[in-house]
């Protein structure tokens, strides 16, 4: 195996920034693969100019960033399978060569996926700020893992993991979100590194479509959280049925026994579905994390339900649903707190 990493740049209708980035990366010693994502004849001169620095792959119709990445992955898997890894880089000047070098060194050292995390220490364009914040919030709740940045395109992957990357669906920006979902739910080890945040001309060069691409990203997050949603629905149904029929004559501890039973059923269902559909590499770790999280949620629901049953005398199923909504933000901040601690502990 060659202990070197390639650069993969998906590009759509680039300007001269692509030339200077490619030239700088080549001078830094990297081999480069650039994918022209159907930019059209008007951009032939740009891609011709970078052919002295990179392998340039082209196809006629624009298919999206996810498709371009997989197209490049497939090419690298066939031509450069003896390399250690590859680093995906945006071609619009958002990633500095010094940060790319940091990912390169970390990938060689750790030999596992590396995710760049932007520091967001500069003024962020409004639509980017909203999109990033929303995706962090929903993905944290869906996967029960927080990342301070889940949309950064600077990432390092091992070449041996390309077959997994090729199986992940999504042709546009949602593909990168699906990759993170897979890493988390399959318990595939990864590390992170902070990089500089760059938005040139208020991010005017971006091809991100605010409404459609945000919808596709949220859709991918929804599917990642579908197992959690199923277990939650089962939880509500179970606690209602047990309180109304199974433990109805117990009296004082009806609610407590109903909740504990419902949580046990929900936990076992969730873990079983994760094992079946995602086949995580560390099953005991998955079960332990899910159990700890469920205990926190159980306590939060219980406090909320007691308050509402005493104040409003509502049915158990209704107070349970209210409690779910009331504890959304506490759950998010718990996940975020753990995530921030883990990110900072990595240095």
Query: How are strands ordered across the β-sheet holding 2-11?
Result: 54-59, 32-37, 2-11, 83-88, 155-158, 113-118, 190-195
**pLDDT, tens digit, 9 for 90 and up, residues 58-68:** 999 999 999 99
User: Which tokens hold the place of 286?
Assistant: 């998955």
- Residue spans of the domains in the chain: they are 2-223, 226-345
More confident residue, 23 or 282: 23
* Separation of alpha carbons 283 and 193, rounded Å: 26
Question: Is 8 strand, coil or helix?
Answer: strand
- For residue 62, with 0-12 CB atoms within 10 Å meaning exposed, 13-18 middle and 19 or more buried, which class applies? middle
**pLDDT at residue number 302:** 85
Question: Is 108 strand, coil or helix?
Answer: helix
* Angle at 136 (CA atoms; ends 331, 323), nearest 5 degrees: 25
* Separation of alpha carbons 283 and 147, rounded Å: 22
**pLDDT at residue number 104:** 96
* Short-list 24, 138, 13, 157, CA closest to 85: 157
DSSP code, position 196: -
Question: Is 13 strand, coil or helix?
Answer: coil
**pLDDT at residue number 21:** 95
**pLDDT at residue number 122:** 67
If you average pLDDT over each of 10-14, 131-135, 147-151, 201-205, which comes out highest? 10-14
What confidence tier does 12 reach under pLDDT thresholds 50, 70, 90? very high
Cα torsion 344, 286, 325, 147: sign: positive
Cα torsion 270, 272, 273, 277: sign: positive
Q: What is the dihedral of CA 261, 262, 264, 266, to 10 degrees?
A: 170
Question: Is 3 strand, coil or helix?
Answer: strand
pLDDT at 227 over 90: yes
CATH fold label, 2-223 = Spore Coat Polysaccharide Biosynthesis Protein SpsA; Chain A (3.90.550)
Site of tokens 């371009």: 68
**pLDDT at residue number 206:** 67
Cβ-contact 316, 305 below 8 angstroms: yes
pLDDT at 203 over 60: no
| H-run or E-run covering 67 | helix 65-79
Whether the model pTM is above 0.75 = yes
* Short-list 14, 15, 16, 66, CA closest to 36: 14
More confident residue, 199 or 62: 62
What confidence tier does 74 reach under pLDDT thresholds 50, 70, 90? very high
């Amino acid at each position: 195996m060659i202990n070197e990493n390639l650069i993969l740049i998906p590009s759509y209708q680039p300007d001269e920034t692509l030339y200077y980035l490619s030239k700088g990366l080549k001078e830094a010693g990297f081999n480069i693969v650039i994918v022209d994502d159907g930019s059209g004849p008007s951009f032939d001169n740009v891609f011709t100019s970078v052919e002295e620095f990179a392998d340039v792959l082209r196809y006629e119709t624009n298919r999206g960033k996810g498709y371009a990445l997989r197209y490049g992955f497939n090419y690298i898997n066939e031509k450069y399978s003896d390399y250690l890894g590859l680093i995906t880089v945006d071609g619009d000047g958002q990633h500095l060569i010094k940060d790319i070098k940091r990912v390169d060194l970390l990938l060689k050292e750790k030999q596992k996926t590396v995710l760049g995390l932007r520091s967001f220490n500069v003024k962020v364009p409004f639509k980017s700020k909203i999109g990033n914040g929303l995706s962090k919030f929903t993905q944290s709740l869906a996967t029960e893992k927080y990342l301070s940045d889940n949309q950064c395109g600077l990432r390092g992957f091992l070449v041996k993991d390309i077959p997994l990357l090729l199986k992940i669906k999504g042709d546009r920006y949602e593909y990168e979100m699906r990759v993170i979902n897979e890493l988390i739910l399959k318990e595939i080890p990864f590390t992170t590194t902070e990089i500089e945040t760059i938005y040139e001309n208020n991010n005017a060069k971006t091809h991100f479509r605010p409404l459609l691409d945000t919808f596709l990203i949220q859709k991918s997050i929804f599917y990642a959280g579908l197992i959690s949603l199923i277990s939650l629905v089962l939880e509500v149904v179970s606690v209602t049925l047990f309180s109304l029929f199974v433990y109805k004559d117990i009296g004082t501890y009806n609610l407590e026994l109903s909740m504990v039973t419902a949580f046990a059923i929900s936990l076992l269902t969730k873990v079983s579905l994760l094992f079946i559909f995602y086949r995580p590499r560390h099953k005991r770790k998955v079960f332990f994390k899910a159990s700890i999280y469920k205990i926190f949620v159980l306590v939060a629901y219980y406090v909320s339900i007691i308050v509402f049953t005493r104040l409003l005398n509502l049915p158990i199923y209704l107070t349970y649903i209210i409690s779910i909504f009331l504890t959304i933000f506490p759950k998010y901040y718990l996940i975020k707190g753990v995530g921030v601690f883990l990110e900072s502990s990595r240095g």
